[in-house]
Amino acid sequence: METTTIKTKDLTELIRDVAEIKEMLLEQKDEMEETKLTDWAKEELEKARKRPEKDYTSLEEIKKRILQK
């Protein structure tokens, strides 16, 4: 097993960076939990979930249509 030497300054910076990233992620989670769908959005989501996937247009088909223009 190899021994790796890490400078205290580098380790401190890493710990600080991880703490900052963690804080940002927790803030995003709180913002997402506060976001509520409107009644219209809930209805549209329900309609979309009921629609069979075979009725959707594939990404490949959309690309073909765009490139034909």
Per residue in 8-45, pLDDT (tens digit) is 998 999 999 999 999 998 888 777 777 778 899 999 99
pTM of the model: 0.41
Assess contact for 69 and 61: CB atoms under 8 A. no
Instruction: Give the domain ranges of the chain.
Output: 8-68
Give the CA distances from residue 13 to residues 3, 5, 27, 47, 62, in Å, rounded to whole numbers and listed in that order. 21, 15, 21, 49, 47
Per-residue pLDDT, 2: 80
Per-residue pLDDT, 43: 95
**Between 21 and 69, the higher pLDDT residue:** 21
Per-residue pLDDT, 20: 95
